A and B are shown apart, each in its own frame.
Chain A
């Protein structure tokens, strides 16, 4: 090629604007105000929490209501200590520590909701890709979605007894619809432009599904998964209304029977805090698995 050096230089030049360093230039400039805003937000939340706790302490100190109705923060703290170790020869609450109760419930949620999420994924992909499957299954999924889990729990007990099976089934059935609906809608609305781009490089039908439809649906599917775990979380007390001990829902139900409101409140905190942690973990996972969502 004797004659094209000028063009080659230009070609090389065109690559020059790619900076070799870290991907996001200018992050340093933005970092400081962003960090300040973050600190302010965290500070505000800590303050709100302190105000809430102070109000709670004040209300109980004034003894506006009986301690049976509104237990003091100190009583809840005592319940935490009592249920976390062995006192007077009694281990935790009804033979299990708080962490064990929570762990057993979490295990139920992960197995039950996990199965429900898996089933929802399969159903969602089928509904999103095959119109007749959607026509057949959509009403059933919508129907299931409107039912409160406690309503079909009775039937599950008649079918599966009172051990683990009905609890896992309840959580699975509660978790399935949101994933199925989210997956079906995301799969059905795969971007035509990218589907065409995949066909243009020779992707066959199945390959279009794996290379474009599923990845592009992933962010929405992950939102469905978060929703499913949230629903499973709020259903766990329902799942543990019958023969729920050990289990955090069973603990709450059992403590209610003896008017141990401090233990009930403790159980609520345990469910709420672990639920927040799991939701945060799922959100982190979503950002990790689908980083392009925030850049699209």
Chain B
């Protein structure tokens, strides 16, 4: 099994004393007010160190997307504190975000969707075409910059959305079930490509999914949330080779199967 220890990003690789990228402290979040209030999440605390690929797994309605929205800064926690790079979360300033739907701007071409992200990230106009080409190549979509959004497939649109999220050069990437709406084959390909991109860049990532297999395949750490209100049911490191492994080979490892079983059991228990 070829592995490259220097690029391996696991929890054990965290330098002692370095500040976490994300820290969630005693957070509880509820929707609605008064008697109608529904607690969706918490109380919950966790820290995400730099370079980690954290996957949040759980049954639907467990508040995993809520947690991601709190980290993104789209919502403020009812109780407790969320900090990203030591600051209050603010959309667009600390993290790149990929949603379940591509959410591309249909009035812009594929390239201009990414160009807008580069513009807001302060990249000079002259440098943008080259950067767009580079980002598109990175998600396997070279030479599509001039196309209209509706001229490419759903899987390709989601790739563009990932490229757009990477455009800001943020050191944190938040992904909310980005592959859930895709067909199985496309999903598998995107998972493999995201795994490669993530291993190459070493970007800290938080990935929300309800798929146990996706969690084991992509993550360096998995957290299983219980049913509403979501709290941590299981927090487990995933110590599998990050680079150079053939996906099928990886899925054939005994450690892979063991993690799948452990996380799968936790999810089933959380759902009941």
Contact = CB atoms under 8 A, between A and B. Distances in A.
A213 to B, nearest CB: 11
B80 interface: no
B103 A3 contact: no
Given A14-B140, A202-B121, A292 B149 contact: yes
A274 interface: no
Given A201-B92, A292-B149, A4 B196 contact: yes
A215 B107 contact: yes
A33 B238 CA distance: 57
A3 B99 contact: no
Nearest to A20: B143
Contact of B153 (A17, A203, A295): A17
A197 B147 contact: no
Contacts of B243: 3-4
Interface in B116-159: 116-117, 120-121, 139-144, 147-153, 155-156, 159
Nearest to A14: B140
Contacts of B104: 197
B72 A18 contact: no
A11 B106 contact: no
SS class, residues of chain B in contact with chain A:
loop
Assign chain B's interface to a size class: 35 or more
Contacts of A196: 74, 91, 99, 103
A211 B108 CA distance: 10
Given A200-B97, A200-B165, A201-B121, A296 B193 contact: no
B167 A201 contact: yes
A158 interface: no
A20 B159 CA distance: 18
A207 to B, nearest CB: 7
B93 interface: yes
Interface of B: 2, 4, 72, 74, 91-93, 96-97, 99, 101, 103-107, 116-117, 120-121, 139-144, 147-153, 155-156, 159, 164-165, 167-168, 189-190, 192-193, 196, 243-244, 246-247
Given A3-B243, A200-B97, 15 more contacts: A6-B246, A10-B189, A10-B193, A11-B193, A12-B140, A15-B144, A18-B143, A23-B148, A196-B91, A197-B99, A198-B105, A200-B165, A201-B167, A203-B92, A207-B120
